[in-house]
Amino acid sequence: MRRDVFQAIADPTRREIIQLLSKQSLNVNAVADNFDISRPAISRHVRILTECGLLVIRQQGRERYCQADLRKLKQVAEWTDRYREFWTRKLDALEEFLEKDRKKK
């Protein structure tokens, strides 16, 4: 099952896992050591991130190493850019209005 990248970033724990793994590849136990939740809960988060394409798991001996693949976050950036442009235009118009109003007084 392929999940949506927005599902991955909707959860604060998953966002923290992405942040952690963006710096270095870690095995699942090392990831779990950074959180105050159970190892099975971390495994579920890792599975969702993998299904979303934000993590890649590679087997090295008996260990499973997680590595972030942030290319999918481009989808999120593109989506938010549309709203950033909208709000930038709105706030610029508000600034212009307030500046004109201030000059009238």
Query: Which CATH number fits the domain that encloses residue 31?
Result: 1.10.10.10
Q: Could you report the per-residue pLDDT of 11-34, keeping only the tens digit for each?
A: 999 999 999 999 999 999 999 999
Segment 67-102, tens digit of pLDDT: 999 998 998 999 899 899 899 999 999 999 999 988
Paired tokens of 58:
């590679």
Does residue 103 register a pLDDT over 90?
no
pTM reported for the whole predicted model = 0.76
SS3 (DSSP) at 28: helix
Rounded-to-integer distance, Cα 42 and Cα 33, Å:
10
Distance CA 68, CA 41 (A): 18
Fill in the DSSP letter of residue 2.
P
Domain span holding position 21: 5-104
Contact between residue 51 and residue 2 where contact means Cβ atoms under 8 Å apart: yes
Confidence of residue 1 (pLDDT cuts 50, 70, 90): low
Domain count, the chain: 1
